Amino acid sequence: MKPWTLAALLPLDASLIRSLFEPLDVEVVLPPTRDRAGQLAALAEADLVVGDFTGELAMDREAVRGAPRLAFLQMPMVGVDSCDLDALTAAGVPVANAAGSNARAVAEWSVGSAFALCRQLAWADRRLRAGLWPQLELLARNPRELHTQRIGIAGFGTIGAETARLFEALGCQVSYWSRTPRPEASATYRELDDLVATSDILVLALPAAPATLGLFGAERLALLPAGAILINASRGGVAPDSAVVAALESGRLSGAALDVFDVEPLAADSPLRSLEQVLLSPHGAGATGQAQFNIVGQVVANITAALRGEPVAHVVNGVEARIRKR
């Protein structure tokens, strides 16, 4: 039987990609160019696809049409918002993500951001680098001890749950909201508006979906206690940039740590770049060596399972998890 063909859309060195997948006895195909034409050339004969974590080579409806033999799509990340799940489901293609692989990394970024904003670390660092000694000014900015803050977490998947665990270990009072309450959670469940109104630090850990886009717009952010802090480790658009800017300028938010934005990369003229109470991150909350190791392990394990006729893990679109060659 002809070997399975695997199209790897990853923006990585070709030798690294081949070293990962060729030992699995598959024919590895790479896009000759990093554009739609190159993507379609790689997909034309592909049985299996490992997607592009940058979203540049999205698995949208056109890409799905251009992959008539596609039997399985593995995303090397947790988010699948660069995939047209409706088109893939209609084509009978199971889509798997790397669920939980970066949960600890994102949780640590969220806690680290909370420390940085509560203690004004970036502000003080910039002043000292400018030759100043802002000891009294720092105290006037009301630095806070983290354990005194009420933490609210919107979204209680693996990232939200791990974030709650870390904040609880620091002595914080932690509440959460999710579509489905978790009886096993040690954090306190609150309805969404109540969560927002009682959170000194609000952490967003939600996926991008029609129901979550714009969920934290200006009206909902206005429910926050005055001087609250927002930490967004979810997806761009869940808290629209314009709403966050307005809340910062009004003083409703005293600070924000943002890893995601409406449009990425963040525009050079975005007002967020000029607000010094904002901690900016280039969608890198989950970018640690350990998280990447975890992702690679999950991807290779799932491709191996597909080739062996065993069910793959973490299918997100409800299609049969046992892969069959077409």
Render pLDDT for 83-107 as a digit per residue (tens, 0 to 9).
Answer: 999 999 999 999 999 999 999 999 9
Which H or E element spans position 176? strand 173-177
* Integer Rg of the chain from CA: 22
Tokens read off for 248: 């910062």
In eight-state DSSP terms, residue 114 is H
pTM of the model: 0.91
- pLDDT value for 208: 84
Between 209 and 31, the more confident residue is 31
Q: Give residues with Cβ within 8 angstroms of 273, minimum separation 6.
A: 266, 280
Cis peptide before 207, with omega less than 30 degrees from 0? no
Q: To 5 degrees, how large is the angle CA 39–CA 82–CA 53? A: 70
Average the pLDDT over 142-158 and give the result: 97
Average the pLDDT over 48-66 and give the result: 96
Render pLDDT for 110-122 as a digit per residue (tens, 0 to 9).
Answer: 999 999 999 999 9
Which residues are known catalytic residues?
Answer: 235, 264, 283
pLDDT band at 166 (very low <50, low <70, confident <90, very high): very high
Question: Please, what sign has the CA dihedral across residues 129, 135, 140, 145?
Answer: positive
pLDDT band at 296 (very low <50, low <70, confident <90, very high): very high
Average the pLDDT over 293-315 and give the result: 97
